[in-house]
Amino acid sequence: MDSKQRSFLRVSGAIGGFIAATAVAAVAVMTGGLPGMLVGAVLITSLVAVCYAAAGKTAGLASGGFMRGFLIGLDTGVNTVLSGVIFGPIAGIITGIVNVLAAFDFFTRSRLYQAVLGWSSWFMPMSWPATGLGLVCFLLNLIPAMFAANRSVRIKIHRLTLDRGTGTIVMEGGWTFLPGFRGGFSLGNFAFVTMDSGVTDHETGHTLNVAAFGSIFHFIGAIDQNIIRSVPENAYAERCADSHVPNAAAYRLAAGHEPVIPLWA
């Protein structure tokens, strides 16, 4: 299958996902009030969970590209509706355009588009649950370090930077790691890494994942990585995020892990 056919399947999936999101929104509106919101949330979460599992099973196949596109279209549809309600119709349309372009390799492999997508994630409603938790974790690290004048080894923040290529606030250090842990984790537009762990590119890859697929995808990916998989690196979300890491494909091959999903590079 050539690149044009693969692109067609991803775009077809994105259209299907957008239609599904619109249908869910219609059901939520017809139900009305808090029950409608709950019904919408349950339906979207269920769809993302099923499609995430299907995308992981079919990665590398034609149907895998369709499922990836469907996940992007689903997130695009919900972001468009919610942004339109919260910020107005023009903002909703702009958010939808930025989001759906993640279905096209031409854009996802562009550093310029990645920057636009990552920074836009701050304003995408489907990114807010993950980014909100990231803000809480950021403050839980920052406030104790400030009270201790950043001198305590256990809670010391070694570096605080902004990854301009993805709009991610990266905190190196802090106390929210298990003793002896080396690596990092990300929550929306916040990334937390241990000192000199070298995982910033991977964690900012997760920032882009959240922008393209939404917070539900990210949380399901965390469950997939930490609970379901015997080899955490083989989780679908991890394989997507690793495409943002230079030479990750060679490392995965040498380690015997499943290949990266060629999304961000």
Task: Check whether residue 80 and residue 158 sit in a common domain.
Answer: no
pLDDT digits (tens, 9 = 90+) for 38-90: 999 999 999 999 999 999 999 988 789 999 999 999 999 999 999 999 999 99
Which residues in the chain belong to E strands, given as ranges? 157-163, 168-173, 184-187, 190-193
Task: Check whether residue 195 and residue 98 sit in a common domain.
Answer: no
pLDDT digits (tens, 9 = 90+) for 189-206: 999 999 888 999 999 999
Q: What is the pLDDT of residue 1?
A: 60
Rounded-to-integer distance, Cα 72 and Cα 38, Å: 22
**Residue for token digits 């997760």?**
206
Kindly list the strands in the beta sheet with 168-173, ordered across the sheet, starting from the edge strand earlier in the chain. 157-163, 168-173, 190-193, 184-187
Instruction: Classify residue 88: in a domain, yes or no.
Output: yes
Instruction: Classify residue 265: in a domain, yes or no.
Output: no
Boundary-marking domain end, from 59, 85, 103: 103
pLDDT higher than threshold 80 for residue 265: yes
Task: Check whether residue 239 and residue 139 sit in a common domain.
Answer: yes
Task: Check whether residue 167 and residue 236 sit in a common domain.
Answer: yes
Q: What is the pLDDT of residue 113?
A: 98
Task: Check whether residue 75 and residue 138 sit in a common domain.
Answer: no
Rounded-to-integer distance, Cα 195 and Cα 184, Å: 9
Q: Which residue from 149, 98, 147 is spatially nearest to 127, judged by alpha carbons?
A: 98
Instruction: Classify residue 112: in a domain, yes or no.
Output: no
Task: Check whether residue 135 and residue 237 sit in a common domain.
Answer: yes
Task: Check whether residue 87 and residue 175 sit in a common domain.
Answer: no
In Å, what is the CA distance from 83 to each residue of 31, 123, 209?
20, 8, 19
Instruction: Classify residue 261: in a domain, yes or no.
Output: no
Task: Check whether residue 160 and residue 248 sit in a common domain.
Answer: yes
Instruction: Classify residue 118: in a domain, yes or no.
Output: no
Task: Check whether residue 163 and residue 238 sit in a common domain.
Answer: yes
**Residue for token digits 């310029």?**
112
Q: Which domain covers residue 235, as residue numbers?
A: 129-255
What is the separation of C-alpha 236 from the centre of its chain, rounded to a whole number of angstroms? 11
Rounded-to-integer distance, Cα 46 and Cα 215, Å: 13
What is the separation of C-alpha 222 from the centre of its chain, rounded to a whole number of angstroms? 11
Q: Which residue from 127, 261, 130 is spatially nearest to 192, judged by alpha carbons?
A: 130
Task: Check whether residue 195 and residue 145 sit in a common domain.
Answer: yes
Task: Check whether residue 192 and residue 152 sit in a common domain.
Answer: yes
Boundary-marking domain end, from 103, 120, 154: 103
pLDDT digits (tens, 9 = 90+) for 82-117: 999 999 999 999 999 999 999 999 999 999 999 999
Structurally, the chain folds into a number of domains equal to 2
Instruction: Classify residue 111: in a domain, yes or no.
Output: no
Provide the sign of the torsion angle of the four alpha carbons 147, 152, 154, 156, taken in this order: positive
**Residues linked to residue 172 through DSSP beta bridges, in sequence order:** 159, 193
Task: Check whether residue 92 and residue 19 sit in a common domain.
Answer: yes
Amino acid, res. 134: G
Instruction: Classify residue 66: in a domain, yes or no.
Output: yes
